[in-house]
Structure 1
Amino acid sequence: MKRTIIAVSVAAALTLPTALAQTNERSSAEELQQLLNQIEQLKQRVLDLEQRVAQEDSSSEPVDEDQQEEFAPRREVKSSALAARVERLEEDLENAENDPIRIGGAVRTQYVWEDYNDPIKDRGGDFDFDLIRLDYSGEIGDVVLSAQYRWFQYMDVVQHAWVGYNFTENWQGQLGVTKVPFGNTPYNSNSYFFSSNFYVGLEDDHDMGAKMRYRDADWDFDIAFFKSDELGGADGLATNKSDRYAYDAVGLRVAGEGTYDNPAALAAETNSWAVRGVRKWTMDELSSAEFGASLQWGDMNDGIDNVGERSAWAVHGLYNYDRWTFMGQVSQYDYDMDVSDIGIVVGAYNYFDTIPSKATLYTANIAYSMPVKWGPVTNLTFYNDFSLMTDKRLYTEDTLMNVLGFAVAAGGLYTYFDLVTARNQPFVGGSMSGDAKDTNTRFNINIGYYF
């Protein structure tokens, strides 16, 4: 009877790993706790059985030394087998706790008031749905995955989607729709509106290609090659070239076309390179700084032939002191096209705009982060972001944007409150190629729940 009990316990130990392997990788915390309890129960059963076997041996009839030598290895084998199965259970439990792929996302809504839009102004602003997004990230061994998909009212887009490999502790390769290394990262801004660099394709842009990243305590290096933009270039299969998250060139603006017209002459990025290097310093526990430079260059293609070249450069820096952050950047881009044009057509957010074919941009930002304990509110970040775009080829009036605001962190909620004053700035009543002399004002609240 006692031998039967041991056999049943061994069988249970053998079947538990199989059941655990069939458990969904994304087990809840309650299910993982149940597995822990099962392991503890199994350990206790093994201990109880070993004690009962020992009692049986001491109370049974004496055996000779040969029999003792024969039975001892058998008991050791049984004990070792049970211990090995317990160890396998613990390994399977650890794998279940460390999910290789994680799913997150956000849901955002937005309130808008604009002094340049009379209907919105008269009704006291609009409160609308902004987006739903899903994020996928994780590692399986040294293979890395990162992707994000966004749904708006008017379009749905891939923000990024790449697979990577950690070659060493410092070097990582990425392949897919990956971020173009350029300027201050991850953003050259603090507000919901980014800086003016975003609207000419020089901030938080993602294209289709391959990238190598190096990171250590003192240096950041990136080198990347992009075959095309995220929609496949001028001859890509996307039905609408303006349905994308970040701005890219999609055509030439020729004489007689309107600022927001669909491009008649196609032109898109192809065979582009990007290089970025940053030196980092940590002065003490309160202060740190970084300074770097970025460079981009590549061809412009109409789907059949190359029709020009593009280039961009930037110098950028960031300084942190205690709760303060200071950020600055100077950047310039140039589209050298073979065909006469009055600007470059860019597409994003389901509409086309026009930017000058060459311009210089300056940004200067300041932010202060203040931890608080106001119910669910844990942090307030106050900021002012300033952007200026000058030397616009064929256009005389500068583009400027100043965003004065603050962000509130409360659990999963993150909310931007932005007061934007701008001239010739997209989403604030203008265009990067505009020649307006007056400024516009927009008050914006973006409420996001991130999970």
Structure 2
Amino acid sequence: MFSKITLIIGLMLLSTGAIYAQDKPELEIGGALRFNYNLSSWKDGQKKRGGDFGYDVFRVNAKAKYKGIKLNAEYRLYSEGFGGGMLKQGWVAYDFDPKNEIQVGLTQVPFGITTYNSHNWFFSMNYYIGLEDDHDMGIKFTHTDKKWNYALAFFKNAEEQRFGSNSDVSDARYSYDVASIDIDGDGILDFRNKEVNQVNGQLNYVIGNDSISHTIGGSGQFGGLYNLDTEEMGSHYAAALHYQLKYKRFGVKAQVTKYKKTTKGPAGESKQVVAMTAYGAPYLTAAAGQTYTLGVQYTLPVNWGPVSSLQFYNDYGYLEKVNSDFADSIMNVTGVLVTAGNVYTYFDAAAGKNQPWLGPQWTNGLADGATDANWEVRFNMNIGYYF
């Protein structure tokens, strides 16, 4: 498969009629410094001291372009407890013309609504099962036009940082991927799977104009899940239908997603759950389910000193698990994004049930969950200076 894709790319390069190049190299450096405050209903100690305020992330962005070849990279430095340093994205690209581009490297997976299927700082439910703003290692072709937009991609694997014959997936990553976890605390990793040889397709059709537009689309992906213990190949797939509305200052994002992960682990290891990881800490998720997400936003221009706009939003997400013995997961985030020059501040009231980041059910929240789980709330303020 990989050799066929390479051949197709080579033919496309040879058939290109025009090369878009500039005489001098271009380089753009940017980044951000962010701080975070949060107060969580399920953390008694935090409530007694009135929440916690601390360092979130420092990131550096680099963009370069020379003779038709482009570079786009973003490196993030989180605290050690959240995974430390990690490459969010990093790819080189070639523009065949203004509408067609090919990217190679750690690039965003073309699935669902991109770049984000949400408006808030927490993203949507899809992010936590690896189906929103995911970045993997591979090659992607994109076509962008006024009406039809599509992308085709092949990903050899997720971010690979260990190149041994039997190496587990590193927990230091930005986007969630299938991985391993020490479920019983004996120092030996369990549920040891890796994503390999994944293909993706995404198609969007745009109706409307600058005043009002509707974007209707569909996405699909299929790939392998290699088990490090049995050395056998399982599989995974996901499919989604999505819709976006943009009307003046108002916007809507809606998506329905179905996914399934079939593993070939050792005898006695549950096939109903898989381990996923990001930010230095793995957890379990249901191996099959459907998600339903709906987000709305309204942007209000203001003139309050440095404050130029307020974007109000509400994002809802529901994970319906195929296993009827599992408790479903829910999250809802209501908030406002305040823009003041180069400073962007998210004020979020995030509520959830069986959501690892919004309650005490970390390891099993997105897996079997708890049938008697209560609604938990996290008030979160993220302040970032972007340069």
* TM-score of the aligned structures, taking structure 2 as reference length: 0.86
Q: Is contact 2:227-2:263 (8 Å) kept?
A: no
- Tell me, in whole angstroms, the C-alpha distance in 2 between the residues paired with 1:358 and 1:378: 43
1:104 to 18, 26, 30: 30
- Tell me, in whole angstroms, the C-alpha distance in 2 between the residues paired with 1:132 and 1:210: 28
**Residues 1:322 and 1:446: Cα distance change in structure 2 (over 3 Å):** same
Q: Deviations over 1:216-252 (max 9, x none)?
A: 1111110000001012588589887111001000148
- Tell me, in whole angstroms, the C-alpha distance in 1 between the residues paired with 2:300 and 2:186: 41
- Structure 1 or 2: larger helix share? 1
* Residue 75 of structure 2 corresponds to residue 149 of structure 1: yes
- Displacement after TM superposition at 1:285 (Å): 4.1
- Tell me, in whole angstroms, the C-alpha distance in 2 between the residues paired with 1:237 and 1:102: 39
**Residues 1:316 and 1:235: Cα distance change in structure 2 (over 3 Å):** farther
* Residue 220 of structure 2 corresponds to residue 295 of structure 1: yes
Q: What fraction of aligned residue pairs are identical, expressed as a percent?
A: 34
Q: Give 3-state SS (helix, strand or coil) of 1:427's partner.
A: helix
Query: Could you say which residue in structure 2 is the equivalent of 1:371?
Result: 301
**Residues 1:259 and 1:148: Cα distance change in structure 2 (over 3 Å):** farther
- Structure 1 or 2: larger strand share? 2
Q: Deviations over 1:257-292 (max 9, x none)?
A: 35999732411100100100000112x442111010
**Residues 1:440 and 1:285: Cα distance change in structure 2 (over 3 Å):** same
Residue segments in structure 2 that go unaligned for 5+ positions in a row: 1-21
420-429 or 122-131, which moves further after superposition?
Answer: 420-429
**Residues 1:422 and 1:262: Cα distance change in structure 2 (over 3 Å):** farther
**Residues 1:395 and 1:206: Cα distance change in structure 2 (over 3 Å):** farther
Query: Could you say which residue in structure 2 is the equivalent of 1:210?
Result: 139
Q: Is contact 1:234-1:301 (8 Å) kept?
A: no
Query: Could you say which residue in structure 1 is the equivalent of 2:8?
Result: none
- Tell me, in whole angstroms, the C-alpha distance in 1 between the residues paired with 2:185 and 2:132: 22
Q: Is contact 1:162-1:176 (8 Å) kept?
A: yes
Q: Is contact 2:330-2:354 (8 Å) kept?
A: yes
Query: Could you say which residue in structure 2 is the equivalent of 1:52?
Result: none
Q: Give 3-state SS (helix, strand or coil) of 1:243's partner.
A: coil
Query: Could you say which residue in structure 2 is the equivalent of 1:286?
Result: 211
- Tell me, in whole angstroms, the C-alpha distance in 2 between the residues paired with 1:135 and 1:262: 37
1:269 to 192, 195, 204: 195
Query: Could you say which residue in structure 2 is the equivalent of 1:194?
Result: 123
Q: Is contact 1:267-1:307 (8 Å) kept?
A: no
* TM-score of the aligned structures, taking structure 1 as reference length: 0.74
- Displacement after TM superposition at 1:393 (Å): 2.6
The amino acid that maps onto 2:132 is E
Q: Is contact 2:169-2:180 (8 Å) kept?
A: no
- Displacement after TM superposition at 1:305 (Å): 3.0
The amino acid that maps onto 1:115 is S
Q: Deviations over 1:399-423 (max 9, x none)?
A: 0000000000111100000001100
The amino acid that maps onto 1:279 is Y
- Tell me, in whole angstroms, the C-alpha distance in 2 between the residues paired with 1:112 and 1:412: 22
Q: Give 3-state SS (helix, strand or coil) of 2:127's partner.
A: helix
* Residue 50 of structure 2 corresponds to residue 124 of structure 1: yes
Query: Could you say which residue in structure 1 is the equivalent of 2:157?
Result: 228
- Tell me, in whole angstroms, the C-alpha distance in 2 between the residues paired with 1:225 and 1:399: 30
User: What are the equivalent positions in structure 2 for 1:370-389 lying under 5 Å apart?
Assistant: 370-389=300-319
User: What are the equivalent positions in structure 2 for 1:131-170 lying under 5 Å apart?
Assistant: 131-154=57-80, 155-170=84-99
Query: Could you say which residue in structure 2 is the equivalent of 1:41?
Result: none
The amino acid that maps onto 1:447 is I
341-350 or 356-365, which moves further after superposition?
Answer: 341-350
1:180 to 103, 109, 134: 109
Query: Could you say which residue in structure 2 is the equivalent of 1:440?
Result: 376
**Residues 1:178 and 1:395: Cα distance change in structure 2 (over 3 Å):** farther
1:245 to 174, 177, 187: 174
Residue segments in structure 1 that go unaligned for 5+ positions in a row: 1-93
Q: Give 3-state SS (helix, strand or coil) of 1:414's partner.
A: strand
* Residue 245 of structure 2 corresponds to residue 311 of structure 1: no
The amino acid that maps onto 2:30 is G
- Tell me, in whole angstroms, the C-alpha distance in 2 between the residues paired with 1:347 and 1:384: 26
- Displacement after TM superposition at 1:168 (Å): 1.9
4+ runs deviating over 6 angstroms: 236-240, 259-262
- Displacement after TM superposition at 1:322 (Å): 1.1
Q: Give 3-state SS (helix, strand or coil) of 2:128's partner.
A: helix
- Tell me, in whole angstroms, the C-alpha distance in 2 between the residues paired with 1:317 and 1:420: 23
136-145 or 304-313, which moves further after superposition?
Answer: 304-313
- Displacement after TM superposition at 1:173 (Å): 0.4
The amino acid that maps onto 1:432 is L
Aligned residue-pair number = 352
**Residues 1:401 and 1:142: Cα distance change in structure 2 (over 3 Å):** same
- Tell me, in whole angstroms, the C-alpha distance in 2 between the residues paired with 1:146 and 1:365: 29
* Residue 354 of structure 2 corresponds to residue 424 of structure 1: yes
Q: Is contact 2:299-2:310 (8 Å) kept?
A: yes
- Tell me, in whole angstroms, the C-alpha distance in 1 between the residues paired with 2:70 and 2:282: 34
- Tell me, in whole angstroms, the C-alpha distance in 1 between the residues paired with 2:153 and 2:243: 21
- Tell me, in whole angstroms, the C-alpha distance in 2 between the residues paired with 1:260 and 1:270: 28
**Residues 1:278 and 1:285: Cα distance change in structure 2 (over 3 Å):** closer
Q: Deviations over 1:313-368 (max 9, x none)?
A: 00001001110001100001101123352410001111010000001000011000
Q: Is contact 2:36-2:53 (8 Å) kept?
A: yes
- Tell me, in whole angstroms, the C-alpha distance in 2 between the residues paired with 1:182 and 1:246: 13
**Residues 1:330 and 1:269: Cα distance change in structure 2 (over 3 Å):** same
